[in-house]
Structure 1
């Protein structure tokens, strides 16, 4: 299975209406916030704060796509 196959399967999965509904739920919002906060904090520590603004912008963009807020 090549990268194109994996990408297509992931896209098909994310296009499913049940998956879309689950990703827009309040529970998904809570889980995603915790994960995104943890990843952003780790990235900021690794970069020594040098890219805090870019990391926060990326976190906000990701958050717009998961959950209900």
Structure 2
């Protein structure tokens, strides 16, 4: 098993066990970035946050961990 496979397995486990905390962390990071850019890129930041949530939630092949 390669290094990236190991990282994917750990990320999948973390999202499965703590999807709500991962979602909250992504939201906080997006809010921080939006604040630092003065709200100029809020729509792009929101799209990026949603994209990251979708990809992390789909690591196990199911969309059930991040709301």
Q: TM-score band (shorter)? A: 0.5 to 0.7
- Structure 1, unmatched stretches of 5+, are 1-7
RMSD: 2.1
Structure 1 residue runs of 4+, over 3 Å off? none
Name the count of aligned residue pairs. 58
- Structure 2, unmatched stretches of 5+, are 58-64
Change (3 A) 1:48 1:21: closer
Does 2:26 align with 1:36?
Answer: yes
Larger Rg belongs to:
1
- TM-score for the superposition, normalised by structure 2: 0.68
Q: Give a deviation string over 1:23-42, Cα, whole Å, max 9, x none.
A: 441x3211111110110010
Equivalent of residue 52 in structure 2, options 48, 52, 62: 62
